């Protein structure tokens, strides 16, 4: 049974985007979930618990003395909005929503924080926009583009892009992603402290 911060009107909700099936677990497209898992460990949050009503795994804790709920939707990426909508009931709660997701326009090892910006074709983000009827929430876009001999190469064509985002990280890329998670945590701390 979930309790404590779960129904708190001042809780921040941090959502990691990805696909729930085992086959997608360590793919680039699941970067949001991978980073969320690192943050959970770094901040000593509670174990994941399944909320059947909201169709998500949730974990509770505090960041900067504020109650925070981590959310892993148990639906596919392009249906993420349904789950997020179950946690964000009012427009006034949008400013306490942070969504972490993969970003094909950024190289691995980098990230960008944005607020109320376009979805740039990301199907998970588009789903959230449609469900909330707004984009006025924080997003942390984590780069997944590979580097070849120092240069960044973006895959071309739908088939090539799909194959790339559903591909797995190399061992070195996994380490880079773990390091980036520490910086993402600091950005989250800043968002929360400025609220």
Q: Catalytic residue numbers? A: 29
Instruction: Retrieve residue 166's tokens.
Output: 């559903």
- Alpha-carbon span 52 to 44, nearest angstrom: 24
- Alpha-carbon span 73 to 18, nearest angstrom: 8
Torsional sign, CA 145, 148, 153, 155: negative
Residue 139 contacts residue 113 (beta carbons within 8 Å):
yes
Using DSSP's 3-state secondary structure scheme, residue 34 falls into helix
DSSP-assigned letter for residue 23: G
Half-sphere exposure of 157 (CA within 13 A, CB side): 3
What is the H or E stretch that residue 9 is in? none
First and final C-alpha spacing in the chain: 29
């Amino acid at each position: 049974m979930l309790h404590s911060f779960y129904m708190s009107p001042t809780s921040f909700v941090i959502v990691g985007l990805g696909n729930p099936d085992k086959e997608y677990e360590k793919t680039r497209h699941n970067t949001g979930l991978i980073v969320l898992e690192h943050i959970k460990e770094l901040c000593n949050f509670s174990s994941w618990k399944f909320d059947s009503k909201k169709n998500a795994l949730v974990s509770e804790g505090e960041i900067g003395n504020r109650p925070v709920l981590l959310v892993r939707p148990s639906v596919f990426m392009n249906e993420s909005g349904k789950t997020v909508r179950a946690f964000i009931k009012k427009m006034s709660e949008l400013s306490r929503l942070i969504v972490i997701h993969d970003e094909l326009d950024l190289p691995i090892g980098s990230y960008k924080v944005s607020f109320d910006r376009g979805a740039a074709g990301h199907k998970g983000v588009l789903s959230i926009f449609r469900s909330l009827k707004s984009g006025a929430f924080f997003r942390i876009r984590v780069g997944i583009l590979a580097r070849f001999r120092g240069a960044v190469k973006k895959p071309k064509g739908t088939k090539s892009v799909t194959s790339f985002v559903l591909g797995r990280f190399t061992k070195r890329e996994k380490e880079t992603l773990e390091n980036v998670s520490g910086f993402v945590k600091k950005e989250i701390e800043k968002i929360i402290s400025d609220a």
